[in-house]
Amino acid sequence: MQTTIFSETANPVPGEQTDELLYNESDSQRTIVHSTNRKDNSCDDSQDEDELSPPDGGWGWVIVFGSLVIHIILFGIEKSSGIFFLKFDEKFHQSAIVTAWVTTLPGGLRLILGPLCSMLTNKFSFRPIVMAGAVLMGLGMVLTGFANNMTLVFISFAIIEGLGMSLVYSPAVVIVGKYFTGRRGLAVGIATSSFGSFLFPTFIEFLFDYYGFLGAMLMLAGTSLNIMVCGSLFTPPPERKTRRRQKTSTDEINVTEQFLRPQLQDEINGKAADAEQSERATCDQECVCRVPCVSKVPCSTMCLRRSKTKVSQMLSDPRFATFCVALFLFSIAAHSAYAFIPLYAKQIAITDSQTTYVVALTILADGLGKVCLGAVLDIGRVKQYRVLAYNLTLVLVGLVYICLPSTSTFIQLCVVSSTFGLLFGGIMSQKSVVTADILGVDKLADAFGMLNLFQGAGAFIGPPISGLIKDTRGDNNAGFYFGGVTTIAGSVIFAVANSVHYVKSKQHDNSV
């Protein structure tokens, strides 16, 4: 094995510290060694700033519990949109397109305002944003109870309630991802499982029957304010720690080849750096080391600069860009389902009590899907193909959506709708995990907000389209077919980008 050592030092002054850079090149690896020689070889105290990795437990499980309760309330209300649809229709007697838009718009705003919530979270931290969102949710419910026309319901239930949901949702998901690494999929799955939200359709139906319209809305406002308690638990994880340690006469910092910038490697070899490789290596990695250097060697060649999480940079990744498109098309259909499944049940002559059970079963399956898919995608052999497995789940949910209009009995509708809920829950819970796999956890907050923007746009226009189809054709069948086709189309687009990525990765691994 051949080893070449290049030494570059500043002119030493007797009695002073000397910094020396040694470039060690061998057939197996290349490292940079920084050597610090002192006059007396004695040890002294210094402070080093080290990155704290997520704890993967501890207070993180308290965060998971708080996020779980938030999701139970949040999705219990949102996924009971079919119940609200029926109650608003009875009270205000508007067309299906108007009523569907009002009842599903909170879910769309929850997603489409994701970038704004990410910006506010980065500025004010998780806790105050979640608590402010809880106040807005409660206010929206109170104002809806006193509304006497659909315009006021649109302002209170759709706008104010939706804004509150958006402020609550993003921080409750992102903070879990920041507390976990190895068990991130499972932790996010538990936090977003919303176990207990399947009781909300029955609970809301009971409130309307027992307390009337105003009383039910006031009770739901009080329920929403419980989110403030959960938000108070959301202390952000410490990002850095300061550690005192003993420095010996020689400190060595090794940086493996995968973190070296191509310019530096090629300077060692006397070759010109490849610009494309350089930019990719620079942007894909954060600054993982800070090697002290002398004036003759610029620090920019020692350290990977931290990339800025701008929209153009995130969307320049083909997989993330197509992922956004896939979830946009998926949301056009999926966020209409919880509003139109109760209408379809009424279409095939299922009773109101049975319809409530169908919705509750769908939400229960949704929660199971969030945990089950998260656990499966964390399995060692599956984990490396997590993005592809997620892509396959998108295809399956599109097929199930197409099968919904073929049901004609209560049992059949329960089976198909619960299967839809199982897959839907897995897709919704693991999107932050897949985003972290594609772009890295350091960009998760901004990327998650951008992803929610695309998904919210789909949820924003999907219900009016489905309502228009119902008003035009008189039934819900064509709306389900349309939703299934759009979901499959999005998954195919995402699959193309994933296939290209994995082929290139395989070729790169074989060439090394």
- Residue 419's domain comprises 312-511
Report residue 304 CA to chain centroid gap. Answer: 26
Do 197 and 323 lie in one domain? The reply is no
- Tokens 């193309």 correspond to 496
Judgement on whether residues 231 and 366 belong to the same structural domain of the protein: no
Q: What is the pTM of this model?
A: 0.63
Q: What share of the chain is helix, strand, coil (3-state, %, to 5)?
A: 70, 5, 20
The count of structural domains within the chain is: 2
On whether both 318 and 232 belong to a single domain, the answer is no
One domain, residues 322 and 447: yes
Residue 260 maps to a domain: no
* Domain-terminating residue out of 236, 254, 280: 236
Inside any domain, residue 157:
yes
Domain's final residue, options 187, 215, 236: 236
Q: Is residue 11 part of a domain?
A: no
Read off the tokens for 468: 């228009």
pLDDT values of the chain reduced to their tens digit, one per residue, 512 residues: 444 444 444 444 444 444 444 434 444 444 444 434 444 444 344 444 444 556 667 788 899 999 999 999 998 898 888 889 888 988 888 887 888 888 888 888 887 887 788 788 888 889 999 999 999 999 999 999 999 899 999 999 999 999 999 899 888 888 888 888 777 777 887 887 777 788 888 899 899 999 999 999 999 999 999 999 999 999 877 664 444 444 444 444 444 444 344 443 443 343 333 444 444 444 444 444 444 444 444 444 433 344 444 677 788 889 999 999 999 999 888 877 888 888 888 888 888 888 888 988 988 888 788 778 878 877 777 787 888 889 999 999 999 999 999 999 999 999 999 999 999 988 888 888 888 888 887 787 778 778 878 888 888 888 888 888 888 887 778 888 998 999 999 999 999 998 888 888 877 777 76
Q: Is residue 232 part of a domain?
A: yes
Per-residue b/e over 59-84, b at no fewer than 16 CB within 10 Å? ebbebbebbbbbbbbbbbbbbbbbbb
Output the CA–CA distances (angstroms, integers) from residue 271 to 262, 263, 266, 296, in the order listed: 10, 9, 5, 19
Domain boundary among 177, 205, 236: 236
In a domain, 49, yes or no: no
Using CA atoms, how far apart are residues 447 and 121, in angstroms rounded to an integer?
13
Q: Is 45 inside any structural domain?
A: no
Compute the C-alpha angle 482/105/218, nearest 5°: 135
Could you tell me which of 127, 149, 150, 153 has the C-alpha nearest to residue 141?
A: 153
Position 389 in a domain: yes
- Say whether both 230 and 322 belong to one domain: no
CATH number at residue 393: 1.20.1250.20
Q: How far, in Å, CA of 434 to CA of 437, rounded?
A: 5
